[in-house]
Amino acid sequence: MNLVGNLAPITRFGLVNMSATADHFIYFAFGSNLLKERLQLANPSAIFHCTGRLKQDYTLNFGLWGEHIDNRWHGGVATIEQKEGGEVWGVVWRMSNDHLASLDQQEGVDRGMYFPLEVTVETDDGALLCRTYQMNRFHACPPSPQYKQVVCLGAQQNGLPVQYVRRLEEASLLADSHLLVVRLWFVLHACMVLLKCLIIYV
């Protein structure tokens, strides 16, 4: 079996499968976990490996999951969506398997917010198979200023392409009025559902 250093086997497709080994896994971050300090709060074993972009046709988007209308960031958070011609850059982190559970928890896997998947990431050293996360039941919502700042700081910190960083910086922000409209819509939706239930059972 061919090895790259002592890291991971090369698959029959020529990709380096670094998503999981006996003691570590490789994680592709594209949102707030671009920022080292943010990721290492709950996952101190995270070590920068390289930067890269998704080989598949994906695009970056911001939103909320399910019927949720708010979160601790007070706005949309990053996810990836399949889109022909799309491009998503990010950071490949090497992490101890001891922190797989804490990363899943941070991404809300147990609550159904995100689901893990394996993606192909193109890097200067070749294509890597990495773990990443995609939002369930996504609906678009602009990011808050504080969330956008963390994402942009992480992109700059790790030297993502200038044009890509500029696109992140130009992402629309969530205005207070927009969030109010979203909240009112979901409150109205909940009231309509409750009214239907009352009509059925009365």
- Show the domain range for 146: 3-174
Q: Read off the pLDDT of residues 34-70 as tens digits, 9 standing for 90 and up.
A: 999 999 999 999 999 999 999 889 999 999 988 766 6
Q: 124 - beta bridge partners?
A: none
Among 37, 84, 107, 118, the active-site one is: 107
d(CA 77, CA 94): 23
Name the domain count of the chain. Answer: 1
pLDDT reading at 25 higher than 90: yes
Q: What is the rounded (10 degree) CA torsion for 146, 152, 157, 163?
A: -170
Residue 195 domain flag? no
Q: Is the pTM of this model over 0.85?
A: no
**CB 116: neighbour CB atoms within 10 A?**
15
Residue 14, burial from CB neighbour count under 10 angstroms (0-12, 13-18, 19+): exposed
Residue 67, burial from CB neighbour count under 10 angstroms (0-12, 13-18, 19+): exposed
Residue 184 domain flag? no
Would you call 107 a catalytic residue per the annotation? yes
Residue 189 domain flag? no
The CATH number linked to 19 is 3.10.490.10
Q: Read off the pLDDT of residues 62-110 as tens digits, 9 standing for 90 and up.
A: 999 887 666 788 889 999 999 999 999 999 999 999 999 999 999 999 9
